Chain A
Amino acid sequence: MSEQSLRNPSAPAGRKGRNGGARPLESVMQMIFFICGFIAIAFVLVITIYLIISGLPAIREIGLVDFLFGQEWASTAEEPKFGILPLILTSVYGTAGAILIGVPIGFLMAVFLSKVAPRRVAAVVRPVVDLLAGIPSIVYGLVGLMVLVPFIRETFHTAAGESLLAAIVVLAVMILPSIISVSETALNAVPKEYEEASLALGATDIETYFRISAPAAKSGIAAAVVLGVGRAIGEAMAIMMVAGNVANMPDLLSSVRFLTTGIAVELAYSSGLQRQALFSIGLVLFLFIMCINVILNVFLKRDKEG
């Protein structure tokens, strides 16, 4: 309560008296700000409600089990099938793969930048990492399409190089800069005394980084991982260029379709039940993202308490 009155120094009781009669401009402005605040909430509500309202009918018509666990997606066939298991699994595998590649490299690179690298090297590399974090994802898709796809085709002798593997590598590269910069920030925030104490007790510098600094920065690193998961699972355009977009069950070297690309590929032309099914995919994706947000919050909270 006290914090609140601090934030609102003009406590309602005292204010009217001090200002004399309520100035009309004041109440108008308050109303305007109130509306602004509310529009923000209204947008979220509209989006959530819209997704649920437009996502549920198709699930009801297709059947929840058939929708989530159906193994075939053939939305435009004579007898359409709307099973999104291949899409869900592809998204899960793709994200997991990107995290498996991106997080260790990103974390080690953060340790390098924060602790090991000479200051001048770090000063050159850091802005480049930031630059890559800001480059539009579609650029990563383009490079993947031109470099990675032919490479995979020739290395593994597949008919075409567009594959889950290509998508995983593109996603890993894409999330790398944000993992590096978030983890580095967390590592830099570790109090110097911790490290000095560890060194004074006879630990080597490497032991100090991994056994003292990293655990102390674990909430920041966890946040980096979750951020990476969120970015990887939500990306559409970059992987649309390298994944091949056939709704196969996921296999490392075959063409696959993610939840996001499942929407992206058919959004422009779908109609009827097919379009409703796209909203259902959107709803599933939305739930995934919400779960990730909740996990992130739990992580951060537990860390604060512990």
Chain B
Amino acid sequence: MKKLTCLGLSVVMALSLLAGCGGGGTSTPSTSTPDASAPSTSQGTDASTPANEEISGAVNTDGSTSMADVMAAFKESFEGLYPDVTINYSGTGSGSGITNALAGTVDIGLSSRALTDEEKAEGAVENIVALDGVAVVVNPENTITNLTVEQIAQIYNGTITNWSELGGADAPIAVIGRDAASGTRGAFEEIVGVEDQCVYTNEYESTGEVIGSVAGNPNAIGYASLSAVDESVVAVEVNGVAPSEATVADGTYEIQRPFVMVTKEGAELSPAAQAFLDWAMSADAADEIEAAGCVSPNA
């Protein structure tokens, strides 16, 4: 009995020790002083006022892999404006972004689908920064260039399993999808109407992987952020409409969704994170959003 108590005590001690050192670290106020930072040399930014240099530290963002290009563009522009801030981005999937934002393990969660009512009820706040199409992609060797939403649904729920049924080569269809964390998957399955019915050949953890897999496999079909589509794959026309920034903006391309920065209601962001969120939501970020291949809602 005595041993047990002793044991319990030391466990508590060890944990509180760790908690103490962690807490101390996170709550330490910023130590960098304005005069210590390098003279502002960032070009082309008239916004580079001394105020920018007072904000420092790391902003951890985590979530949608579809937003990789947008985040890369955001990071460089924002770090140009605020030289003492580091933007960290981990591409783990929208579900992860939302979960982590609610759990407080990251500053800003990233989601490539609109938040559900349940998520909002838990305190997730939706900050839409861009609109993006979900491209349905096939290998360049594939002769099929146009599919209806109906056909796409039949491919994904397993009714059509061979390309010859669609007029293509006689080869099994490799139905490539994303893991359940994916905002792209959530948006795609909802719009195409195949929720919980999909028969996937493979599930991948990221947008890049889907594109890499489709680019390497002539039998594959997949879905991915329009902003991430490159020349290694072909984005098919859906109901006769080719996906592009213009067709996403005017709504004629059906499969589209928002890019969302998720914060937690009531939780205060660090000055750096708040500045980043404000900047991303402002019209200043429109150029970066367009450069990444998306549509800015603020443009």
Contact = CB atoms under 8 A, between A and B. Distances in A.
A and B co-occur in one complex = yes
Nearest to B213: A160
Interface residues of A, number: 31
Contact of A78 (B94, B97, B174, B196): B196
B92 A269 contact: yes
| Most chain B CB atoms below 10 A, which of A41, A78, A246, A269 | A269
24 contacts: A39-B14, A42-B14, A74-B196, A78-B195, A158-B172, A159-B174, A159-B217, A159-B220, A160-B201, A160-B217, A160-B219, A245-B205, A255-B202, A265-B179, A265-B203, A266-B181, A268-B92, A268-B95, A268-B99, A268-B181, A269-B92, A269-B96, A269-B180, A270-B99
Contacts of B258: none
Contact of B93 (A35, A46, A269): A269
A268 B93 contact: yes
A207 to B, nearest CB: 49
A153 interface: yes
Contact of B205 (A74, A153, A265): A265
Interface of A: 35, 38-39, 41-43, 45-46, 74-78, 150, 153, 157-162, 244-246, 255, 265-266, 268-271
B216 interface: yes
B59 to A, nearest CB: 19
A271 B180 contact: no
A159 B173 contact: yes
Q: Chain A interface mostly helix, strand, loop or mixed?
A: loop
Contacts, number: 87
A41 B9 CA distance: 12
Interface in B166-224: 172-176, 179-181, 195-196, 200-205, 213, 216-217, 219-220
Contacts of A268: 92-93, 95-96, 99-100, 181
A162 B96 contact: no
B244 to A, nearest CB: 29
B201 A244 contact: yes
A211 to B, nearest CB: 48
Contact of B180 (A38, A158, A266): A266
